[in-house]
Chains A and B, each alone.
Chain A
Amino acid sequence: MSPGSRPLSPHLQIYKPQITSVLSILHRFTGVALVGGVLLLVWWLIAAAAGPDAFVTVQSVMGSWIGRLVLFGFTFSLFYHLCNGIRHIVWDAGYGYGLPAAAASGWTVVAASVILTVAAWVAGYAAMGGA
């Protein structure tokens, strides 16, 4: 049987975006994106072990405006994946499946990840003395 003649179930562009589905997609997206963050961490550690010259290169790349923008994205990805991961663990334990509960926990995760991201960057700029 040719797969082209079979009916297909509706895909992403048919369904109306909802808080549950958008956050589910964002969980996978941030998870894959964090691979990039982990690679940056590996680069940072290996450069630190290699010596001051290599380390200065990493720090200047990460300290540039585009480096900071990318790090900001990784910070949000980390906190979002972390908070939504806790939401998943709670589901795995059997709680919070009702639609109002799932929407409420979803918005809580969004608020918590934004607050944690901003807090981390405020702490980072404070550690640098406001530079």
Chain B
Amino acid sequence: MNLRSDLGRARGLGAAKEGVAHWWAQRVTAVALVPLSLWLAASLAMLAGADHKAAVAWIGAPVNAVLLAVTLGVTFHHTQLGLQVVIEDYVHCKAMKVASIVLVKFASVLLAAASVFAVLKIAFAG
């Protein structure tokens, strides 16, 4: 005998009330970050000790600016997905848990916007 309602079965979300969206997003961003973070690490190593002129020239170059913006967006998405799992594992007080997850998501969006804006400002205004 199946006690699940037809609607519940059609939604297919079960007791967790969500599907594999979080898990899947973590993997997709991880795969994207393999080439992106290798590119970033190699580029930053080459910029070691660079003066302002050299750093701004590198950040503002079209290919670098686009890849930087993408890397920052994907990185912050991956970061907040990962931190959410860590918080869910260790913070057991429900109010604290929800508050810290929301705080992490807000901070990620804010920092992603600020850093992408910094890249765009350098690319467009020098």
Known: A35-B83, A79-B41, A128-B49. A89 touches B31 (CB 8 A): yes
The answer to whether A82 touches B34, judged by C-beta atoms less than 8 angstroms apart, is: yes
The answer to whether B118 touches A49, judged by C-beta atoms less than 8 angstroms apart, is: yes
What sequence of 0s and 1s flags, for each residue 27-56 of chain B, a beta carbon within 8 Å of any chain A beta carbon?
100110110011001100111111110011
Beta-carbon contacts under 8 Å, A64-89 to B: 75, 78-79, 82, 85-86, 88-89
Question: Is B66's beta carbon under 8 Å from chain A?
Answer: no
In-complex Cβ contact of A46 among B48, B79, B118 (8 A): B118
Q: Count residues of A near B (Cβ-Cβ below 8 Å).
A: 36
Residues of A close to B121: CB separation below 8 A: 49
Q: Which of B38, B48, B68, B83 has the most CB of A within 10 A?
A: B48
Residues of A close to B30: CB separation below 8 A: 85, 88-89
Chain A nearest CB from B9 CB (Å) reads 26
Which of A7-15, A16-24, A97-105, A118-126 participates in binding chain B? A118-126
What is the CA–CA distance of A45 and B71 in the complex, to the nearest angstrom? 13
Total number of residue pairs linking A and B with CB closer than 8 Å: 83
Beta-carbon contacts under 8 Å, B81-126 to A: 82-83, 86, 111, 114-115, 117-119, 121-122
In-complex Cβ contact of A124 among B34, B48, B119 (8 A): B48
Chain A nearest CB from B11 CB (Å) reads 24
- Which secondary structure dominates chain B's binding surface? helix
Instruction: List the B residue with the shortest CB-CB distance to A123.
Output: B45
- Which secondary structure dominates chain A's binding surface? helix
Question: Is A56's beta carbon under 8 Å from chain B?
Answer: yes
Residues of B close to A110: CB separation below 8 A: none
Chain B nearest CB from A124 CB (Å) reads 4
The answer to whether A55 touches B82, judged by C-beta atoms less than 8 angstroms apart, is: no
Q: What are 15 contact pairs spanning A and B, CB under 8 A? A: A42-B114, A42-B115, A42-B118, A45-B118, A48-B56, A51-B52, A55-B52, A56-B52, A79-B41, A82-B37, A92-B27, A120-B45, A125-B48, A127-B46, A127-B48
18 extra A-B contacts, CB within 8 A, seeds A48-B118, A86-B34: A31-B82, A34-B79, A38-B75, A38-B76, A38-B79, A39-B111, A42-B118, A45-B118, A46-B114, A48-B56, A49-B118, A59-B49, A75-B41, A82-B34, A92-B27, A123-B45, A124-B45, A124-B46
